[in-house]
Amino acid sequence: MLTRASTRSELAARALCESTVCSLRPILTRLAPGLSPHVPPQVASDYFRHTWHSYHWSFWRLILERDLLADLTAVRQPMLVIQGGRDTLVEAPERVSWPANLEVRVLAEHGHASLLLHEPGPAADLVRGFVRSDPT
């Protein structure tokens, strides 16, 4: 919910973060693993350990201010991007002009977090196959 709010309204995201996450941090870090059994316990707890300042500026500098395609274009080795077909947080891969050395694979049944946190097997299989086929 915080991630979605952050992409739509900084004011709403800050209010959500400071009113719930920051004020309830001691309780939420303990309860999170039980409330999110589909996520590794440390990941669930860590989600609530940030401050608004750290969350906002990390999100801003690492996601919003970066020109990911420019960064990817600078890399010369073959790359693999794996995206969930149900991911609503990032641009649909067919709408992006990817660099020539980049292979995009879409796992249709996955969303944003399920690729690595809920069902990592299919993504891991794609990575293994990509690494085995890389001639470098």
Q: What pLDDT does 1 receive?
A: 65
DSSP 72-129: HHT--S-EEEEEETT--SS--GGGS---TTEEEEEETT--TTIIIII--HHHHHHHHH
CA separation for the pair 72, 121 (Å, rounded): 25
Name residue 105's beta-bridge partners: 82
Q: Phi first, then psi: what are they for 81, rounded to 5°?
A: -115, 130
Task: Tell me the pLDDT tens digit for each residue of 55-107.
Answer: 778 878 887 888 888 888 999 899 999 999 998 878 888 888 899 899 999 99
Between the alpha carbon of residue 8 and those of residues 34, 96, 97, 100, 108, the distances in Å are 29, 21, 24, 31, 25
- Placement of tokens 């693993």 in the chain: 33
Q: What pLDDT does 129 receive?
A: 93
Given pLDDT bands bounded at 50, 70 and 90, which one contains residue 136?
A: low
Task: Collapse the DSSP code of 39 into the 3-class scheme (helix H, G, I; strand E, B; otherwise coil) and give the result.
Answer: coil
Task: Tell me the pLDDT tens digit for each residue of 8-34.
Answer: 777 888 888 788 777 888 888 899 889
CA separation for the pair 36, 52 (Å, rounded): 22
